[in-house]
Amino acid sequence: MVGLIGPASPATRLGRAARVRSAAPVPRALLLRLLRPDALLWIVIVAILVLPIALFLLVAFSPAMFQQGTDWFSVAAFGRALQGSALVGLADSTGVGLAAAVLATVVGGALAWVAMRTDAVARQAVTGLVFALFLTPSYLIALGWQRLIEPNGVLQVLGADPSGFRGVFYGPVGVVTVLAVKGMPFAYLAISNAVRGLGSEFEDAARVHGGGPLAAARLTVQLLAPAVWSSLAIVFAESVSDFGVADTLANAAHFPVATYALYSAVQAFPVDFPLASAVSWLLLLLVLAALALQGRVLRGRRFRVLSGRARAPRRTRLGGRGQAVWLVSVAALMVVSLGVPVFGAVSASLIDGLGSLAGTHRWSLANYVRVVQSPDLGSPLVYSAGMAAITATVALLLALACARVLAARSVSRAARLLDAVLLAAVALPGIVFAAGFIFAFNLPVLAAAGIQLYGSNLLLALAYLATALPSTTRLLVGSVAQVQENLAAAARVHGGGAIRTWLTISGPILLRPLVTAWLLTYAGTLLELPVSQLLAPAGSEPISVGITTALGKYDFGGGTAMEVLAILSALAVVGLAFGIVRVAAPRGWRRLGAAA
């Protein structure tokens, strides 16, 4: 009896503890674990980056799994993607992508060399041109050219006949030109960084051993091979995945490309998701093939040129003729890349009734008055500005969290996985993101669960966020990595909490990078085309869709006026943001922020 009421044995206590643990509220523990910041970050990444794209790409192999066919495993969609107009579009995309990559690399490389290795005047103008093109969507460049040379366009109103030039430009020549102009900033940035670190001792060594200028130039090109091949791969990938030119100039010229074939499959009735997924796979394979070719060419070769003996390169002095050739070349490039599109857009917006027979074709501000007064023309700009501001803010917060994970002192498995996911997302075309969101968030299983996101503003915002997050993270990770962790640790030792530490330590240091990342995300989202084209909810029209809709109705004046006002509003937001920082931020914050 004493044994029955006395202290329990160790085995008994262990069994009771096990029963208590088994009776614990497991869902609550799981909920607490899921509410951890790192878990929440991964939930967002999987929800907006991994699942939509993975499910969309899977439907090409298993249509029956998603009620898009009867086959549980089939490659029939790839057979359809490799025939007819889809095959023609794939071949056209490959051809113009290769041509644009070579042209952009040659022009961007020449600009980088002259700007970095000579005393050419107005070298700073090249940097301004590069970043202006970097921020300008490809479809705006194409539309500027179209408004200038199209039938009854600006030149014809002015009394000129551009029909001969239009017959040449409307086709692969024009598509390659616009894609090369858009790809030139990538080529310039890739090659200029390599040229900056290449000393002049290699050229001197070639000449000491009897080589002339041609031999020295050949050696320099070989040493710049990694940057050149990177430029070719990047511009090719950007060109074959571009949708802006496909939806404007290429479509008007009846020149089919792969991205428009994907768009047509999604817009068809009924929607052909397996074909769209197969075309997406082929686009990704083109990008991967370019990267694989780059790696194969450079494999086993050494290009290390920076050492303790490296000398700063000497700038070559250009004579009067060289300076004249440089100025003429830069001026011509500016005219082709930005001058003509800007003149075409601005002049078209100032001609009343351009594109129709109803207007007077006189120069006036009537188109701008219509945009401001008409809800159909003015509301898209207000709507896109609000969506862009929301997207930029949320993307900045998530990108900052991702950058902290990637810049941590100890690289974990989760950090490597996050880096791989973000890097893969950067390579995905925007049109694939849009198609993936249409497919994933329109599945019957979500409708059965009561989740109705398709056709809503929330889904459009999530798609904007998915396309902006990878690039915004890449913009911030370098600056975040510069902030030493002992600064925050010292603040906590002196009694500072997390919020105070951020406001007094991390915030001031990262002020300028954060503002710049927000503005770049805002400007990119404001004029984004493929996601807006496919996911715009009924009754709410983004500015890019509003522009293309007005132009589709032959309201060239109203459409271009919307375009000009959108760009001016983006520039105004940029100026306002930097002005607020300059006026409102403490002087120490501005000094620290400029150093990151």
Q: What is the mean pLDDT of residues 343-358?
A: 79
In DSSP terms, which residues pair with 118 in a beta bridge? Answer: 316
Mapped onto helix, strand or coil, the DSSP state of residue 57 is helix
Token digits of residue 296: 């194969």
Is residue 334 over pLDDT 70? yes
Question: What pLDDT was estimated at residue 4?
Answer: 37
- d(CA 589, CA 506) in angstroms, rounded, equals 10
Interior angle at CA 48, CA 46 and CA 53, nearest 5:
85
pLDDT value at position 389?
92
Tell me the residue type at 290.
A
What is the average pLDDT across 398-422?
76
Gap between the Cα atoms of 89 and 245, Å rounded: 13
The token duo for 177 is 């030109």
> pTM for this one?
0.77
What is the CB neighbour count within 10 angstroms for residue 281?
A: 17
Please give the pLDDT value at position 16: 45
**Domain at 76-300+320-349: CATH code:** 1.10.3720.10
Q: Is the pLDDT of residue 309 over 60?
A: no
Cα gap 439→53, rounded to integer Å:
9
The predicted pLDDT at position 49 comes to: 82
Residue type, position 224, single letter: L
pLDDT in tens, 477-535: 766 665 555 555 555 555 555 555 555 566 566 677 788 888 888 988 988 888 888 88
Q: Residue written as tokens 């074959």? A: 240
**Minimum mean pLDDT among 127-131, 144-148, 278-282, 568-572: which range?**
127-131
Buried b (16+ CB within 10 A) or exposed e, 286-324: bbeebbeebeeeeeeeeeeeeeeeeeebeeeebeeeebe
CA distance linking residue 320 with residue 374, whole number of Å: 54
Domain boundaries, the chain: 76-300+320-349, 367-596
Written as one letter, the residue type at 129 is L
Structure tokens at 166: 């239009």
Mean pLDDT over all residues of the chain?
A: 77
Confidence at 178, pLDDT banded by 50, 70, 90: very high
Q: How confident is the model at residue 115 (pLDDT cuts 50, 70, 90)?
A: confident
Higher-confidence residue: 319 or 7?
Answer: 319
Vertex 486, ends 484 and 487: CA angle to 5°? 75
Query: Which of 410, 415, 284, 349 has its CA nearest to residue 562?
Result: 349
Burial class of residue 24 (count of CB atoms within 10 Å of its CB; 0-12, 13-18, 19+): exposed
CA separation for the pair 593, 243 (Å, rounded)? 36
Q: Do domains 76-300+320-349 and 367-596 have the same CATH topology?
A: yes
Rounded CA separation 60/55 (Å): 9
Handedness of CA 500, 503, 504, 509 (dihedral sign): positive
Give me the pLDDT at residue 12, please.
Answer: 46
**Most confident range, picked from 280-284, 403-407, 425-429:** 280-284
**Number of residues that this document lists for the chain:** 596
The DSSP letter of residue 60 is: T
Nearest to 98 by CA among 225, 238, 243: 238
**What pLDDT, on a 0 to 100 scale, did the predictor assign at position 103?**
93
What DSSP character marks residue 315?
P
Query: Does residue 160 or residue 97 have the better pLDDT?
Result: 97
CA-to-CA distance for 183 and 187, rounded, in angstroms?
Answer: 7
Question: Residue 107: CA atoms inside 13 Å, Cβ hemisphere, count?
Answer: 26
Is 80 exceeded by the pLDDT of residue 236?
Answer: yes
Under the banding of pLDDT at 50, 70 and 90, the label for residue 390 is very high
- What b-and-e string marks burial along 420-438, b requiring 16 or more CB atoms within 10 Å of the CB? ebbeebebbbbbbbbbbbb
Most confident residue range from 17-26, 214-223, 237-246: 237-246
Is 197 a residue whose pLDDT tops 50?
A: yes
Of residues 236, 240, 274, the one with CA closest to residue 259? 240
**Nearest-angstrom CA–CA distance, 523 and 566:** 10
Inter-axis angle of helices 543-552 and 138-149, to 10 degrees? Answer: 20
Quote the CA–CA distance of 587 and 585 in Å, as a whole number.
6
Nearest C-alpha neighbor of 81 from the set 299, 249, 334, 275:
275
DSSP class of 204: H
Exposure string (b/e) for 162-175, b if CB count within 10 Å is 16 or more? beeebeebbbbbbb
What does CATH list as the number for 367-596? 1.10.3720.10
In the chain, what is the straight-line distance between the N-terminal and C-terminal CA atoms, in Å?
77
In this prediction, residues 95-108 reach a mean pLDDT of: 91
pLDDT at 591 over 60: no
Contacts of 3 (CB under 8 A, 6+ apart): none
